[in-house]
Amino acid sequence: MIIIDRNNYFIFYPLLVEAGCGSIEPRHCTVPIREFAPKSELLMAEVVGLDVSTKSVDFQLIGDNAVKGIEYDHLVVALGSVTRILPEKIVSGVRDHAFFMKHMSDAVALRDRAVELLELANAIDDLEERRRLLHFVVVGGNVTGIEVLGELEVFVREASAYYRNISDEDITFSIYELNQRLLGVLPENLSVWATRQLKKRGIKIHTGTSVKEVHADRIVDSDDKVVGCSTVIWTAGIAPSPVLGQLNGLPLNKFGGLECASDYSAVGLDGVWGLGDCASVPGADGKPMPPLAQIAIRQAPQVAANISSVEKGRPTKPGEVHLQGVLVPLGRHRGVAQIKGIRVHGFLAWAMWRAIYLLKTPRLGRRISVLLDWTLNMFFRKDYVQLGMHPASHRDMCRSEEIDATNQG
């Protein structure tokens, strides 16, 4: 078996926000593919093309521009998803000014950004500007947005204790959610509880409101209100990997996802299968299965079994993967969760989140590393230093975009 991936690791996403906010070492939420699948061959390469008639995939090895090809008997397409960015005429400035939470580099860039802003804000005398610099805005109030909001707020407030000129009132966190309530994926009572907790911490919650312009120094919300801020984190949805569009012959739905039958086979193609965030696979209720790691992980053995059945001339079976639950950490040892219909909130939900994802973290060594990180954090303060690897963190802090334009011109 050959795995083609642009990275030689995969991310254990449930821990990505914690990695970004310093609760665990960033590399502890990654899993080396060679260690995880030692019997497979790994090609660290970018997939760039597909020919379904000759059953071959084109790729470029990372660091080499030559396009090479490889033939397949069975191709499993699991390219994942990207952050959904709406067209400029609907929401402008997102690509240029917002931060995201999808890759390891995003998580580290956000942490670097927060530290850099604290340093800058501490060194200036203008109170209004200091407060603008320390205003963080999250757009999208579902699971990822709430997790980023909760963890980053704790990180920034705890770090600010080291900065003499920064008081608690100088730091503001705001969240914008188009729906009438946060955490639409959870039942209303859990959403209400989480909202109350966040409000108690001083977080400004704007539901039924979105953002239509993102600038370096401000946002404009859907009610045309201009709000000064310096960091916008865009967590308003995901879309199937756009790479699918470059792979000729794949059946794509109107959202750009790979259209699959209930046994994971790509509609109308022989030997092509889809799973995970990039694939639209109908579940038992006929609706596409949700784009979640807990779904993708359980789809994988079913895809493998169906490929084996095809090879042996046996019939394939439809997928039977259901959502088991949703757990959302809110920071400050609080969380909300619904597991198999049971609703939990508070410390218990947070502890369940940690226990479940610790057990689900692939490989024993990684599990121990994460546990050690968490244990050390109970007794010592985090390191509020920049990792200094990502120029994105330096992006657009100054007050006026006009100044930027003049400098460039």
**Is the Cβ of residue 5 or residue 217 nearer to ligand FAD in the bound state?**
5
**Is the Cβ of residue 293 or residue 358 nearer to ligand FAD in the bound state?**
293
Residue whose token pair is 């603008």 = 132
- On whether the CB atoms of residues 405 and 128 are closer than 8 A, the answer is no
- What minimum distance in Å lies between the beta carbon of 330 and ligand FAD? 13
**Is the Cβ of residue 101 or residue 303 nearer to ligand FAD in the bound state?**
101
* Residue 81 to residue 84: CA distance in whole angstroms: 9
Query: Which of positions 56-115 make contact with ligand FAD (CB under 6 A)?
Result: 78-80, 101-102
Query: Which of positions 267-306 make contact with ligand FAD (CB under 6 A)?
Result: 276-278, 291-294, 296
Residue 4 within binding range of ligand FAD, rule CB under 6 A: yes
Provide the angle, in degrees to the nearest 10, between the axes of the packed helices 143-160 and 104-123: 40
**Is the Cβ of residue 76 or residue 121 nearer to ligand FAD in the bound state?**
76
**Is the Cβ of residue 133 or residue 279 nearer to ligand FAD in the bound state?**
279
Residue 337 within binding range of ligand FAD, rule CB under 6 A: no
* Residue 6 to residue 3: CA distance in whole angstroms: 10
Q: List Cα–Cα distances, 54 to 46, 75, 79, 244, 343, in angstroms.
A: 20, 12, 21, 18, 51
Nearest to 329 by CA among 15, 98, 54: 15
- On whether the CB atoms of residues 36 and 300 are closer than 8 A, the answer is no
Terminal Cα distance for the chain, rounded? 53
**Is the Cβ of residue 241 or residue 393 nearer to ligand FAD in the bound state?**
241
SS3 of residue 218 by DSSP: strand
- What minimum distance in Å lies between the beta carbon of 27 and ligand FAD? 15
- What minimum distance in Å lies between the beta carbon of 78 and ligand FAD? 5
- What minimum distance in Å lies between the beta carbon of 324 and ligand FAD? 9
Residues forming the site for ligand FAD (CB under 6 A): 4-7, 10, 13-14, 16-17, 46-47, 78-80, 101-102, 144, 241, 243, 276-278, 291-294, 296
